[in-house]
């Protein structure tokens, strides 16, 4: 049977090994799902089996919500969906995914990670024997039992496990009774009720789940705009938002809050609240959402690390219409590497910048303020601090 596998590039080597001794024919890999994905599967490949690994890069296409349309185009095709390792944090997402796919008669929904031990054997068994509704339920029960027994299993080793708790709460880290300046909202505060005629969205994304810097950049830009009398709000994804609240000792703030003079909302309130600010900063991270596509200012946090270069190169040479409009911000990166690689990006008419570490996100360094000034220059002028003249032997240079 002919197979197509939709997965991230980093997983290709594993599937190549899996397919070496398989009796099936691998037609190819799809490492990014775009709006023409269904057409490519139906007309270009027309496979017997489509394997999809959760986390594959996607642009303007949501696989789970498009399954019905995909099966109408390929009614005889079998779909295998690898969800990833099951744990207490994603169990509900997994069960929701099972409920969605099962209504289409899809039961090959695996709570496995491609990097876990024994994956090749499990994959071979799955290709040979599709799951039924009953066998899927047995698999779910087994994986949940394994998860529950893991702490007990770990204690059976001879090595004594040190369970001393690590306290990273704000009060413990700063070793002070200082209380953050926090305001939580039950409804939009009066001072921002009037909508702004001109609204600018700044969307920040990354190309890799492992890349950091989106949230840090969002806060630094927000602080910089506030220092120049602009109205601004930061919109964080649910996980980041809740983690930020927890660090500051806030149990919940579903309608937003203000911490250190920065107004912050969960990302799902963006459409409702954006009209009350001149600037909205959306921390999109690695999530595929339309906010980035439609933003007036697009920022992509990147890396020139050798293991990430191919991901960046593929993205820069993709067919997205706004590729040249994006501001590519590199962090962390050495000056040597930035100069070496940025030359090629500039030749390709791409805008790239290098930011540095600031003392704190509430105090962006002057270098970074200069970068943000250039990125935001079309909409606002950020004044740069005057440099003190250098002196040599008492003479001003």
The fraction of the chain above a pLDDT of 90, given in percent, is: 30
Listed range (49-63, 192-206, 336-350) with the worst mean pLDDT: 192-206
Mean pLDDT of 238-262: 88
pLDDT of residue 38: 93
Mean pLDDT of 22-38: 89
pLDDT of residue 146: 61
pLDDT of residue 187: 55
Q: Is the pLDDT of residue 22 over 50?
A: yes
The structure tokens listed for 48 are: 């017997």
| 314 pLDDT tier (thresholds 50, 70, 90) | confident
Mean pLDDT of 319-346: 87
The fraction of the chain above a pLDDT of 70, given in percent, is: 81
pLDDT of residue 236: 93
Listed range (156-160, 191-195, 317-321, 369-373) with the worst mean pLDDT: 156-160
Residue with tokens 């209380």: 179
pLDDT of residue 171: 53
CA–CA distance, 215 with 205 (Å, rounded to integer): 9
Which residues have C-beta within 8 Å of that of residue 201, sequence separation ≥ 6? Answer: 274, 279, 280, 281, 282, 291, 294, 295, 296, 297
Q: Is the pLDDT of residue 99 over 60?
A: yes
Residues pairing with 50 in the sheet: 4, 79
Closest CA relative to residue 41, chosen from 4, 89, 75, 93: 4
**For 117-162, what is each residue's pLDDT tens digit?**
788 888 888 898 898 888 888 877 776 666 554 433 233 223 333 3
Mean pLDDT of 86-104: 82
Q: Is the pLDDT of residue 280 over 90?
A: yes
Domains of the chain: 2-154 (3.40.50.2300), 186-376 (3.40.50.300)
pLDDT of residue 149: 45
pLDDT of residue 170: 55
Strands 327-330 and 2-6: unpaired
pLDDT of residue 393: 40
Mean pLDDT of 216-239: 92
Mean pLDDT of 230-258: 90
CA distances from 27 to 3, 32, 45, 323 (A): 6, 16, 7, 29
Q: For the chain, what is the mean pLDDT?
A: 81
pLDDT of residue 143: 67
SS (H, E, C) the chain: CEEEEECCHHHHHHHHHHHCCCCCEEEEEECEECCCHHHHHHHHHCCCEEEEECCCEECCCCCHHHHHHHHHHCCCCEEEEECCCCCCCCHHHHHHHHHHHHCCCCCCEECCCCCCCCHHHHHHHHHHCCCCHHHHHHHHHHHHHHHHHHHHHHCCCCCCCCCCCCCCCHHHHHCCCCCCCEEECCCCCHHHCCCCCCCEEEEEEECCCCCCCHHHHHHHHHHHHHHCCCCEEEEECHHHHHHHHHHCCCCCCCCCEEECCEEEEEHHHHHHHHHHCCEEEEEEECCCCHHHHHCCEEEEEECCCCCCHHHHHHHHCCCCCCHHHCEEEECCCCHHHHHHHHHHHHHCCCEEEECCCCCECCECCHHHHHHHHHHHCCCCCCCCCCCCCCEECCEEC
pLDDT of residue 384: 57
């Amino acid at each position: 049977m002919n197979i197509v596998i939709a997965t991230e590039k980093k997983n290709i080597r594993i599937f190549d090994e899996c397919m070496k001794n398989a009796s099936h024919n691998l037609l190819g890999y799809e490492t990014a799902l775009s709006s023409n994905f269904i057409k490519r599967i139906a007309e270009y490949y027309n496979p017997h089996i489509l394997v999809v690994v959760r986390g594959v890069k996607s642009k303007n296409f949501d696989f789970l919500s498009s399954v019905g349309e995909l099966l109408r185009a390929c009614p005889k095709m079998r779909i295998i969906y690898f969800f990833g390792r099951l744990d207490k944090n994603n169990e509900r997402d997994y069960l929701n995914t099972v409920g969605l796919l099962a209504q289409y008669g899809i039961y090959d929904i695996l709570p496995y990670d491609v990097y876990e031990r024994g994956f090749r054997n499990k994959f071979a068994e799955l290709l040979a024997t599709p799951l039924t509704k009953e066998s899927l339920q047995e698999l779910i029960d087994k994986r949940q039992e394994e998860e529950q027994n893991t702490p007990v299993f770990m204690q059976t080793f001879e090595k004594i496990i040190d369970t001393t708790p690590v306290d990273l709460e704000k009060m413990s880290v700063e070793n002070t009774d200082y209380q953050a300046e926090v305001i939580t909202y039950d409804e939009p505060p009066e001072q921002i009720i009037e909508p702004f005629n001109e609204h600018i969205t700044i969307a920040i994304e990354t190309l890799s789940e492992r890349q950091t810097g989106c949230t840090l950049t969002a806060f630094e830009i927000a602080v910089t705009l506030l220092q120049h009398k602009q109205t601004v709000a930061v919109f964080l994804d649910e996980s980041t938002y809740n983690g930020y609240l927890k660090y500051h000792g806030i149990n919940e703030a579903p309608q937003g809050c203000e911490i250190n003079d920065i107004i912050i909302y969960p990302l799902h309130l963006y459409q409702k609240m954006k009209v009350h600010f001149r600037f909205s900063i959306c921390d999109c991270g690695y999530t595929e959402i339309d906010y980035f596509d439609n933003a007036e200012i697009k920022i992509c946090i990147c890396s020139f690390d050798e293991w990430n270069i191919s991901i960046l190169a593929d993205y820069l040479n993709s067919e997205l219409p706004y590729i040249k409009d994006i501001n590519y911000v590199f962090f962390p990166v050495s000056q040597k590497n930035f100069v070496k690689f940025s030359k090629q990006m500039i030749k390709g008419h791409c805008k790239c910048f290098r930011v540095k570490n600031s003392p704190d996100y509430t105090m962006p360094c002057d270098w970074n303020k200069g970068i943000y000034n250039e990125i935001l220059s079309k909409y606002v002028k950020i004044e740069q601090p005057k440099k003190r003249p250098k002196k040599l032997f008492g003479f001003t240079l």
